[in-house]
Structure 1
């Protein structure tokens, strides 16, 4: 079954954004299948269905982990530059302060809005890809992006102590 379903599972995980982790997730899927088989003490009625249920759960777990992981500072600076209407070069201390402020803003956003912004700016996914992962329409993804960027722009435009 591993040889037969392995490539299908790899593709399943890659389509959900786990390019680097696809092989590990395939192996974890089979490991969980084997553990379940041992716990039950007998054959699983439909191993293929069980396998893809486990794979779907692993993909969801990974999406949650990805939502909770902080953005690297380089990505924060790129997002800050995108959001900023100023063309002047900021000194390093001010840039670092804006990065911390933006990270705090992102952490304060509602979960789905933050997840959409992270998937778009950190992972480089399209609205359609994000919509497929979250199980919503591309229009809803766009609404989350607009709301999130609006909150970030307003907060970044306000003085640091005025939050």
Structure 2
């Protein structure tokens, strides 16, 4: 490639003349951004392993991003020079993990109940035996019903079907379903009163 004299002169002349204003400080950070990108590429695998060993794997990427965001924020402060960015990045990573551990501890303490306030009663064995006895009596009462009456009773009381839905599914009238329910309820009531 051969340059003609005008192009060569344009390359050799300084871009800023003596009277030109200096660009603002926020435009001078291109070099530091390149250094940050190089630091990111060199430290990313090591930091990801560091975070993955100390947290669950899903948080490692977030912690890596937050570490570099804090580093970039500190590096962008005017007059702030970070002499050893790797050591500074390590300190940021350690502090992030420490802060997360403190937050987790505070959350767990928020759910803490003092022993004096905890309800530590043992299950009531007598009530459990009575409930089991009651269930056995109801079950034996239901087994003494005719299959059709038992099915209608269970469809309404257990499955929550309406009389109309039961009548439609069993090919009965609503009055027929009412008759079976009345019969079942009276029978269960008699068995329960006999005790």
TM over 0.5: same fold? no
Q: Which has the larger radius of gyration?
A: 2
Please give the TM-score of this superposition, normalised by the length of structure 2: 0.37
Of the two structures, which has the highest relative contact order with CA contacts closer than 8 Å and spacing of 6 or more?
A: 1
